[in-house]
Amino acid sequence: MNKKTSLFLVVMIIILSVLYYFMQLDVIGPVEPELAYKKITVAGDISLPPYEFVDEDGEYTGFNVDVMRAIALEMGFEVTIVPMNWEDAQTALQNGEVDAIQGMRRLEVREWLYDFTEPYFENNYAIFSKRASGINAINDLHGKNITSIQGDASNQILVSLKGITIKNVPDVKSAIELVVSGEADAAIGNPIVGIYHINKMGINDQIDISSTDLSSAAYGMAVKKGNVALQRQLDQGLDRIKKNGTFDTIYEKWFGRPLNYQQEALLNTLRFLWIGLIGVLAFSLALFFWNNALKKQVQIRTKELYGESQFNHALLQSMTNGILYLKADTASRYLNAEGERLYQVISTYGISTDDLETLILNSDEDVFHEREFKGPMGILNLEWRHKSVQLPDQKEFGHIIVFSDKTEKRYFEDAFLSQDRLRNIGLLMAEIAHEIRNPLTTIKNYAQLIPEKVNSPKFLEAFSSDVPMEIDRLNGIISDVLDYTKPGVAFTDCVDVAAVIRETLKMMQMRFDKRSIGTTLEFFGTEAVDEAQILEIDTRPLNEGKIEWSEVENIHARISSKHLKQVLLNVYLNAMEAIEAIELANGVVRTSVERNSEQGVEIHISDNGIGMDQDEVQRLFEPFYSRKRDGTGLGIFICDRLLKLYGGSINFKSTPGQGTVCTIRLQRGASL
Q: Give tens-digit pLDDT for 139-176.
A: 888 888 899 877 565 766 677 777 888 888 877 888 89
The whole-number pLDDT of residue 305 equals 81
Confidence at residue 9, expressed as pLDDT on a 0 to 100 scale: 60
Are the CB atoms for 498 and 550 separated by under 8 Å? no
Task: Give the CB-side neighbour count of residue 246, counting CA atoms within 13 A.
Answer: 16
Q: Hey, what amino acid is at 660?
A: T
| 579 vs 155: which has the higher pLDDT | 579
Conformation bin of residue 59: beta by default, left when phi > 0, alpha when psi is -120 to 50: beta
What is the full DSSP assignment across 494-521?
Answer: -EEHHHHHHHHHHHHHHHHHHTTEEEEE
Q: Indicate whether 205 pLDDT > 80.
A: yes
- Residue 544, pLDDT score: 42
The pLDDT score that the predictor gives to residue 71 is 94
Q: Write down the pLDDT at residue 168.
A: 85
CB atoms within 10 A of CB 482: 9
pLDDT above 70 as % of the chain? 77
What's the confidence (pLDDT) of residue 604?
92
Query: Can you tell me the mean pLDDT for 548-577?
Result: 80
More confident residue, 671 or 178: 178
Q: Which of 66-70, 214-218, 329-333, 498-502 has the highest mean pLDDT?
A: 66-70
Q: Which of 133-147, 256-270, 390-404 has the lowest mean pLDDT?
A: 256-270
State the amino acid at position 419 in one-letter form.
Q
pLDDT of amino acid 233: 93
Q: By C-alpha distance, which of 221, 235, 189, 219 is closest to 106? A: 219
Q: Could you give the 3-state DSSP secondary structure of residue 41? A: strand
14 compared with 449, residue with greater pLDDT: 449
Lowest-confidence region among 55-69, 270-284, 579-593: 270-284
The more confidently predicted of residues 600 and 665 is 665
Range 404-422 average pLDDT: 71
- Least Cα distance to 113 among 122, 125, 101 occurs for 101
pLDDT in tens, 23-42: 444 445 566 777 789 999 99
Domains in the chain, CATH or no CATH each? 31-120+219-259 (3.40.190.10), 125-215 (3.40.190.10), 319-405 (3.30.450.20), 408-475 (1.10.287), 488-666 (3.30.565.10)
| For range 469-483, the mean pLDDT | 67
Q: Name the band, by pLDDT with cuts 50, 70 and 90, for residue 264.
A: low
Are the C-beta atoms of residues 127 and 212 closer than 8 Å to each other? yes
Cross-sheet strand order for the sheet of 369-375: 333-335, 322-326, 398-405, 378-389, 369-375
Q: What is the band of 654 on the pLDDT scale with cuts at 50, 70, 90?
A: very high
Q: Is 34 helix (H, G, I), strand (E, B) or coil?
A: coil
pLDDT, tens digit, 9 for 90 and up, residues 90-106? 899 999 999 999 988 88
DSSP state of 524: -
**Residue 355 is inside which H or E element, if any?**
helix 353-361
Four-residue CA torsion sign, 288, 293, 294, 295:
positive
- How confident is the model over 202-217, as a mean pLDDT? 80
Q: Is 654 left (phi over 0), alpha (psi -120 to 50) or beta?
A: beta
- What is the arithmetic mean of pLDDT over 452-476? 77
User: Is there a contact between 646 and 558 (Cβ–Cβ < 8 Å)?
Assistant: yes
Q: pTM for the full model?
A: 0.36
Phi-psi region at 472: left, alpha or beta (left = phi > 0; alpha = psi -120 to 50): alpha
The per-residue pLDDT of the chain, averaged, comes to 78
| Helix, strand, coil percentages in the chain from 3-state DSSP, rounded to 5 | 50, 20, 30
Across 423-447, average pLDDT: 68
Residue 285 reports pLDDT greater than 80: no
Mean pLDDT of 621-629: 71
pLDDT of residue 307: 82
What confidence score (pLDDT) does residue 267 get?
63
Kindly tell me the sign of the dihedral angle through the C-alpha atoms of 169, 173, 175, 181: negative
Residue 190, classified by CB atoms within 10 Å of its CB into exposed (0-12), middle (13-18) or buried (19+), is buried
Residue 367, by phi and psi: left (phi above 0), alpha (psi -120 to 50) or beta? beta
| CA pair distance 73, 50, nearest whole angstrom | 21
- pLDDT beyond 50 at 115: yes
- Between CA 170 and CA 343 the distance in angstroms is 113
pLDDT the model gives residue 45: 87
The predicted structure's pLDDT at residue 3 = 59
C-alpha angle with apex 519: 516 to 521, nearest 5 degrees?
A: 170
Q: Select the highest-mean-pLDDT range: 68-72, 205-209, 379-383, 499-503.
A: 68-72
The letter for the amino acid at 548 is E
pLDDT digits (tens, 9 = 90+) for 506-531: 888 878 888 888 888 887 654 444 44
Q: Does residue 481 have a pLDDT over 70? A: no
Whether omega before 50 lies within 30 degrees of 0, making that bond cis, reads yes
Across the range 484-501, mean pLDDT stands at: 67
Residue 122: φ, ψ to 5°: -90, 130
DSSP summary character for residue 305 = H
Look at residue 635 and give its three-state secondary structure.
Answer: helix
pLDDT at 534: 45
Confidence of residue 77 (pLDDT cuts 50, 70, 90): very high
pLDDT of the residue at 529: 45
Angle (deg, nearest 10), helices 497-514 and 407-453: 60
Q: What percent of the chain has pLDDT over 90?
A: 16
Residue 538 has pLDDT above 50, yes or no: no
Q: What is the pLDDT of residue 74?
A: 92
| Residue 492 pLDDT | 53
**How many other C-beta atoms can be found within 10 angstroms of the C-beta atom of residue 599?**
15
